[in-house]
Structure 1
Amino acid sequence: MKHTSRRNACKVLVAAAALACISGTALAEGGSLADIKARGQLTVGTEAAYEPYEFVENGVVVGYGRDVLEHMARKLGVKLVQLNLPFQGLLPGLMSRRFDFVATSVGITEERAKRFAFSRPIGIVRSMLVVSTANKALNRPEDLASKIVGTQMGSQAQPVAQEFDRQLKEKYGKGFAELKLFQAYPDVSVALGNGTLDVGVLPSNVLAVQMRRQPNSFRMIGEIGSPRLLAWVANPKDEEIRSFINATLEEMRASGKLAELQKKWFGETMALPTADYLPKGAL
């Protein structure tokens, strides 16, 4: 399988500029289910670089999330339009109504939940510490002191890594030598392989894919932080859209369809909460 991501900033900027030049309300999405049906399409924003949740294969976005979205589009009787964009532009794009909702694996955090309308969880992930198998010196999370650590910029793993750096400084008097932030998780794996990075902080699902693709190339030395729930995000003004997402996920859970898709993409089912999953003060 070919796993690609949009890493060329210039191309992204050019594409964004071209879209911005489109006249009228071609880019304006969101609102209500009636609006979506009137347009005849469900438009969502995704960063397709988080296999097996959402990724690109043979030039097409596929994955667990894509299958769920296709089910939702069929339910509405409309066409699915899935825009593959850099993660850093998804939430701002949501607020400017570039799409109906964000259908990518966004970690539920207290700060985000006060600004954006999260759906019920669609997945769960753990922050794993990984090194190259050629690196025999690092074996425990405590070994990260004075080492170069890397993860994806703007991801749920970034604050987990920053918090662990703080804990190391508090306990041992020194933290990471440097925290490098990359545009995408595959870049972290590349940096581990070429030796420019000592330790990577990767989500458990991403690590599983990498270890399957490159057996004997990486090894885990521990886990940091707490498991995080992943969800989709709607504009706070579009409560009907969030309710539709939640109701459809519940229907899929009750029918067994969601478990079927989880087994297809992850090899196992997930025990996901249906209540009390949002932090205090969440919208």
Structure 2
Amino acid sequence: MKLQRLFSVACIALATTLAVLPGGASAQTPGVLRVATDATFPPMEFTENGARTGFDVDMMNALVKAMGKRVEWTDIDFKGLIPGLIAHRFDAAISGIYITDERSKVVDFTEPYFAGGLVALVKSSSTIKTVTDLNGKKVSVQVGTKSVNFLRDNFPQITRVEVEKNQEMFDLVGIGRADAAVTGKPAALQLAKTRTGFRVLDKQLTTEAYGIAVRKDEPELKAAFNAALAKIKADGTYAAIVHKWFGASAQ
């Protein structure tokens, strides 16, 4: 009985060892691409009726299909996307991630798949007209996003209110605990369109490019993504996804 128990324990230990790769990642299923996102950023990625949806979700599904694979999604807070990718918890990350010099030091990015940028969102009744009007005021930003560093480096007189979730930024503006939120243009425009009482300042703060993040030690995956992106642009799939989420004039 004792030997049988020892044998069972040994089998469990062996199975656990085989199921885990260096860096803490689970063994990958052939033909599956593990992709992480923070599905709280409509219209890029969000959940609706219990299902994950959005521009980035459609884009990734189309890319993976063009690569002859299927996607396995992981939901994670935005600030954990890059660390989780480096730790081999998943193979790629798509979540309205701007290609920046700072991020490019630790991960690689595909070719840009969409143009974006930072904007400021305020209440419709606000007298704020430009970002400089926010000096001395409170602005909500999401932890781990470019908004944090942008305000820190360019508008040090603005008091940043850093929150974990995208929706929290907007809620703080709505209840008056922040005078504005600085976030990506698609999300800000989506909120102003679907929720009354908000408007986006006319002048865009930055012009950015969205990219899919991959590890630096996997150039083949980066190349495969870029080839798939070229393929779906050539066959009309890309244009259809853009039109679905942003209209005919988005690109």
- TM, length-normalised to structure 1: 0.76
Let me know the Cα RMSD of the aligned residues.
2.3
Given that residues 126 and 223 in structure 1 are in contact (C-alpha distance below 8 angstroms), is that contact kept between their aligned partners in structure 2? no
Given that residues 122 and 181 in structure 2 are in contact (C-alpha distance below 8 angstroms), is that contact kept between their aligned partners in structure 1? yes
Q: 2:229 is aligned with what amino acid?
A: L
Q: Which one of the candidate residues 69, 79, 82 is aligned to 2:73?
A: 82
String of CA shifts for 1:181-210, please: whole Å, max 9, x gaps.
111221111001101011211211011111
Given that residues 120 and 205 in structure 2 are in contact (C-alpha distance below 8 angstroms), is that contact kept between their aligned partners in structure 1? no
Change in Cα spacing, 1:25 to 1:45, as seen in structure 2 (3 Å) is: farther
Given that residues 27 and 98 in structure 1 are in contact (C-alpha distance below 8 angstroms), is that contact kept between their aligned partners in structure 2? no
String of CA shifts for 1:18-40, please: whole Å, max 9, x gaps.
xxxx934546599xxxx96x624
Given that residues 44 and 103 in structure 1 are in contact (C-alpha distance below 8 angstroms), is that contact kept between their aligned partners in structure 2? yes
Per the alignment, residue 196 of structure 1 pairs with 177
- In the aligned structure 2, how far is the partner of 1:57 from the partner of 1:247? 30
Per the alignment, residue 12 of structure 2 pairs with none
How many residues get paired?
234
Per the alignment, residue 179 of structure 1 pairs with 160
Deviation for aligned residue 1:141: 2.2
Per the alignment, residue 130 of structure 2 pairs with 140
Per the alignment, residue 214 of structure 1 pairs with 195
Q: 1:195 is aligned with what amino acid?
A: G
Given that residues 147 and 198 in structure 1 are in contact (C-alpha distance below 8 angstroms), is that contact kept between their aligned partners in structure 2? yes
String of CA shifts for 1:194-230, please: whole Å, max 9, x gaps.
0101121121101111111113x11233435421111
Per the alignment, residue 5 of structure 2 pairs with none
Deviation for aligned residue 1:76: 4.3
Change in Cα spacing, 1:265 to 1:221, as seen in structure 2 (3 Å) is: closer
Q: Which one of the candidate residues 64, 67, 85 is aligned to 1:73?
A: 64
Identical columns (%): 24
Q: 1:201 is aligned with what amino acid?
A: V
Deviation for aligned residue 1:270: 4.8
Q: Which one of the candidate residues 130, 150, 153 is aligned to 2:121?
A: 130
Deviation for aligned residue 1:52: 1.7
Per the alignment, residue 170 of structure 1 pairs with none
String of CA shifts for 1:118-169, please: whole Å, max 9, x gaps.
0011122121122112333x22222112111111111122222223314xxx
Q: Which one of the candidate residues 198, 203, 219 is aligned to 1:223?
A: 203
SS state of the match for residue 134, structure 1?
A: coil
Per the alignment, residue 152 of structure 2 pairs with 162
- Structure 2 stretches of 5 or more lacking a match? 1-14
Change in Cα spacing, 1:162 to 1:268, as seen in structure 2 (3 Å) is: farther
Would you say 1:255 and 2:196 are equivalent positions? no
Given that residues 123 and 270 in structure 1 are in contact (C-alpha distance below 8 angstroms), is that contact kept between their aligned partners in structure 2? no
Q: 1:121 is aligned with what amino acid?
A: P
Q: 1:257 is aligned with what amino acid?
A: T
Q: 1:161 is aligned with what amino acid?
A: L
Q: 1:143 is aligned with what amino acid?
A: D
Deviation for aligned residue 1:262: 0.4
